[in-house]
Each structure stands twice: as structure tokens, then as C-alpha cells.
Structure 1
Amino acid sequence: MVLLWSCDASHSKDVAVSFMATTTGALTCVQLALDLDRIFDWDQSLTHLPAISRGISIEMALNSLSQDSQIFTLPSSRTLGYAVFGDPPGPGIPTILYFHGFPTSRIEGSFFTTTKIKVHVVAIDRPGMGLSSFQPSRRILDWPADVLGLTEHLQIEKFHVAGASGGAPYALVCAKDIPPTRLLSISVVSGIYPLSLGTEGMLLEARVLLYAAAWLPQFIMARLLDWEFGTAATNRDPKVFEDSFMKVIDSRNERDRRCLDDVSFRKSMIESMREAFRQGAMGPAWDCGLYPNWGFELEELDAQNVLLWHGENDVNAPCAMAVKAEKLIKVPKLRVVEGESHMSLSYHHIEEIVQTIVDLGLD
């Protein structure tokens, strides 16, 4: 799920960043970035670091892992953090690989097992977030190789993939490199789509962040995200982040706000977002920087069983983007759910979503 911070217009840095979203020239954006760096005395050495130093290292976290949080080492020596939820794999128990939103983590995948439907869910942290080590120069196109590496390790032959919000491009790119004999279906819930499809109806804060990410150096994006999210997210007291998070939600769609009245759901979302910044902000910053340019076109995808879900009142990722995306992807199906928004879609319809995924894999 994409849950972007609201900017306080009284703060000079926010004004500068908001102005950047309306600037059309790349040189102007770069100049603004350099000005921000000078004004706020940010350390440019962060370009060589995988995370803000205040973050907690993966090694330090190993002793505190829950039974559902595990680490796999790829042949490249990078690590992939993942969590396993739901039923054990076996005959009649389909596997769903879940790709989290932005800026969240594998913990978000637990929501896919809140139904009575028997499924085996493996939720994976993207590089630099949660328990997955940072990957320099990574692309969205690199993701299928990580997925295949993990599924081979876990001896999962056939599987579905599902991406929510910022996990959308990671679900869709699997159609490029994973054979249909293994990839049973692709589901996208409240997904973000290429900015070229238009951002009309999107929250100003979301547009600012995405357009800034297209031009800003990653170390500056990391500092901005650290300032907006990381300081509170890495505070030892979870209540600090929860208070900040709820202030943002208070200004959002009522349908989304009501979801967070569910204490269990709210706790899971907050924990998932805090976990995204476990190593600091460089991982989330790199992730954000990939959304403006996916590295592939939707028209290139050739996959069966692609299902897009979207709430008609979504302002984080407007429904109009999903409507346009459906026309570009081969053989997709789009389900627009009346009255639902970004978070509320999965909250109120998770049973239907999971059941549809399971049905897509039936012969």
C-alpha cells in the first residue's frame, strides 16, 4: 500500500520540494537538489552507503527475527528477507508470492491470510528494505531473478504473484522472465502504474514525491524520506511513528480512515512501515526512484491470468491509471470496486481477492 506523508507547508524544505514537482526542466530540478543539499548540510557521502546510519543492520536484527521472518542468501551473496504466512505448502494449497507496497515490507503480506481460504503466502522484502540487503544500481527488471532464486530455494514449482500499490510493477514484470508453466497468475491490487498514464486525481504529496524521485539524486531522496518517515520509523518507541502516521491518515479518505479503527490492521500497517526503514532510508529511496521509469512497457507483457483490482475513489493511485493500463496489457481483467479507496479495497474485499487468485490457478 502506498501511504505518503503530508507536507507541512510552513516548513521551508517542504515548500522547496513542492515547487520541484511543478518544475519541468531537469537542470532546474538538479539545481534545486544541490541548493537543498547546501542549505540543509546533508552529507553527500551517503551516495556510497546502502542506508542512513541510524538504521538497524540486518546482522543486528537476526536475533530478534520472528518465526515468520527468514533470510535467504542469493548466489550473488545478497540476502532476501521474506516471511511465510498461512498454511504449509502441499497438495491443494496454492502458493502466493506477495510483493509489498511503498514504503512497507514483507509484514504487509500477513493480511492475505486473514481469510478462511487455505493458501501459502511468501511475502518478500525488496532490496534495501526490511531484511533484504541493498542492491546497488538495481532495476525493476532485476526482480524476477530474485523471485526465481527464492522459489527454487523453497522448492516452489508453481505460484501466483500479487502486488499491492507500489508492488504493482514488481508483480507485472514477472510476466517478462518467468515462464507461464510456473507463473499461474498475476494480481495487482490498488496498483501504481506508469506516470505516463497520467496523474490526474492523485494526491499532491504523491505527485511531488514521484516527480521529485525522477530527478533527485538518490542520496537526497534518502534524506527527504528519512526526514519524513525514517526518524519516526526507527524510533525505539512504536508510538512515535503511530502518532505521526495517524495524523496523516486523519486528512485522508474516510473509507481508508475507518480501516485503521481495526487495531489489528493498524498495528500490522505500522509495523510493516517501520520495518521498511530497518536499514535506513536509502533502500526506500531507491525503490521510490524506480517508479517514474519502470524500464519496460506494459505493451511488452504477454501473460495469461492478469487481474487488476482498483477502488474507484483511490487518490493514492487514481483509478484512471488502472483503466488505461488495462488497455495496454494483453489479456487483462480490471475490476473497479465502487466506493472503495486505496487501503479499503483490500481491507473489505480480501476474501474475494484471495479466492479469485486461487481460482485463476485452476485448470
Structure 2
Amino acid sequence: MTTILLDGRIISYAIYGDGSPIAPTVFYFHGFPASHHEASLFDSPARKRGIRLIAPDRPGMGSSTFTPTRKITDWPADVLQLADDPAINAPTFAVLGTSGGGPYVLACCAAIPSSRLTTAGIIGGLYPPSLGLAGMLMEPRLLLSIAPRAPKLVEKVFDWGLVAAARNADQGKIEKIMASSMKGRPEPDRRAWDENEDGFREMLVMAVRGSVQENGGKGPAQGARLLGSPWGFELGDVKMKKGKLVLWHGGADANIPLTMVEKAHEPLAGSELRVG
């Protein structure tokens, strides 16, 4: 599905869970690089709880218009326009993000009034790189360091590797690349991939393929540049009522180390940290 924003840009999205327009609405912000397919993993839980889960593709991902000048702080306005689209019509809503979607949750918490945004959650989220990248896997650490300085180089690397494999008719090529990236992950992550728990491997492959389907490496390169650069707001700008912002994180997470989350938790007023 798509909606056209006031400036003519397109935002693509999918709806999971309970599709009823009167069901409580949660906007799901996918990780990086990924697309709306990622939210399919939560389709059954959302359906059981009567939640309408709307998963938009950020600009440059999926079929959403690539926007060279975009900033992380532009996202809350896009979300509000999407919420006000007659096809969605969500006067109030919550937001939930995973990994690289975490900064976009925080941007919404900082900019959208509580009269619209009721609650927020981040699962295994990324926090400002200025907090330190110690303990992070080498690949994401290099990406966050290099992308702000050489986005064109990062785009070419994505095009040469991930994009070429994702666009190949042989799904085994992209699976091989993604399986290699799983080798340094904690055992539960590797098991979920190897055993395709709850369709995890299939979901991840679809999400990554969807992220480059129209814009190639431009979208992921821009996403990495934004994540690795100053975000345009401070963690202290995020003020949610106690219990309305929950940070879920795995204690053994090697992609985004727990130490980063613990440093971010303190200045996030009202946030609750839950470590699994």
C-alpha cells in the first residue's frame, strides 16, 4: 500500500495484525537495512491482541521515495501525515522500532505531542554513536564510522554486494551473505536463523530484499549516514511519562552492546529499561 504526502513523496507501508480501523494502532519502524516485511514477524501476536500494526518503509527503502536531503527529524511529520491519511485514520497511536528503527522512535517521542503519541517501545535499538561503539561487531561499527564521511563509497559497496545478491533470482545468494553476517551473533540469534524459528530467516530475507528493491544501495547508504551522524536532537529532548517509553534489549546483544543502551537510558526521561 502507499500514501502520497503533501509534498508529493510516496510512503509505502503494509498493515499486519488486526486490520480493523478501530483497533489500537501501532506504527512499526523497521531496522536497517530492512523494509516493512520485517513487521510480518509480529503479525500473529498483534492479531491475537487486537492491535493494528502499520509498518511504513522509510524514504529510500521499499517503494518510499528516496529523498537526498532528508533527516531523521523529518520522520515524525511523515508519520503524522500517514496517521491522518483517510485509509489509516489514527487519531492516537503508539510507535515501536527495532535496531536502526530506534532513533526514529526517539525522534517521534521528541516531536509528537502526547495527545497523539501515547506510548513507545524500542527493541534492540541503536542509540547515538557518540555514546561509544565499544563492544559492537566490527561490521556495523565500520559502517557507522565510514558512512557519514563517504556515503557514495558505502552506496557502491552495497550495490556490489547486498543489492546484487538481493536482486538475484536465486534467493540462496542473499541468504549466503546474511548467513555469514550471523556468525558473530549470540547463539539465540544464530539458532533463530539456522532453524528459521517462526519464519525468522524468511522474514529477514524478504525485509532486506525489500529495502533495495527500487533504490538500490542509495537508501541503505543514506540510512547509515544518518544513523552515524548527529541525529538533530538530544536524548534529553525526549520526555515521556514514566512507563510510556520502554527499552527492551538483550544482555548478550553483540550488534548493539548493552553498555550503549545503559548510557542512553539515564537521560531518557521516563524510560524503562528491560534487559532479557
- TM-score (norm. length: structure 2): 0.93
Cα distance in structure 2, aligned partners of 1:75 and 1:334 = 37
Where structure 1 has 5 or more consecutive residues not aligned to the other structure, the ranges are 1-69, 338-363
Q: CA deviation at 1:250?
A: 3.3
SS of 1:114's partner is helix
Q: Which runs of 4+ in 1 moved over 3 A?
A: none
1:313 aligned to 2:252?
Answer: yes
Q: CA deviation at 1:90?
A: 4.7
Cα distance in structure 1, aligned partners of 2:184 and 2:270 = 37
Q: 1:1-363, aligned counterparts within 5 Å?
A: 70-91=1-22, 93-115=23-45, 116-153=48-85, 154-216=88-150, 218-260=151-193, 261-262=195-196, 264-279=199-214, 280-292=216-228, 293-304=230-241, 305-337=244-276
Q: CA deviation at 1:295?
A: 1.2
Cα distance in structure 2, aligned partners of 1:135 and 1:159 = 25
Identity, in percent, stands at: 39
Cα distance in structure 1, aligned partners of 2:42 and 2:202 = 15
Cα distance in structure 2, aligned partners of 1:130 and 1:139 = 18
CA RMSD of aligned residues (A): 1.3
Q: Deviations over 1:53-78 (max 9, x none)?
A: xxxxxxxxxxxxxxxxx011111111
Equivalent residue pairs, number: 266
Q: Which amino acid aligns with 2:236?
A: E
Q: CA deviation at 1:117?
A: 2.0
Q: Does the Cα contact within 8 Å between 1:89 and 1:95 map onto a contact in 2?
A: no
Q: Which amino acid aligns with 1:301?
A: V
SS of 1:173's partner is helix
Cα distance in structure 1, aligned partners of 2:77 and 2:184 = 39
Cα distance in structure 1, aligned partners of 2:114 and 2:225 = 29
Cα distance in structure 2, aligned partners of 1:149 and 1:255 = 38
Cα distance in structure 2, aligned partners of 1:114 and 1:335 = 23
Cα distance in structure 2, aligned partners of 1:140 and 1:221 = 19
Q: Does the Cα contact within 8 Å between 2:137 and 2:184 map onto a contact in 1?
A: no
Q: CA deviation at 1:89?
A: 2.9
Pick the structure with greater CA Rg.
1
Cα distance in structure 1, aligned partners of 2:149 and 2:17 = 41
Q: CA deviation at 1:121?
A: 0.3
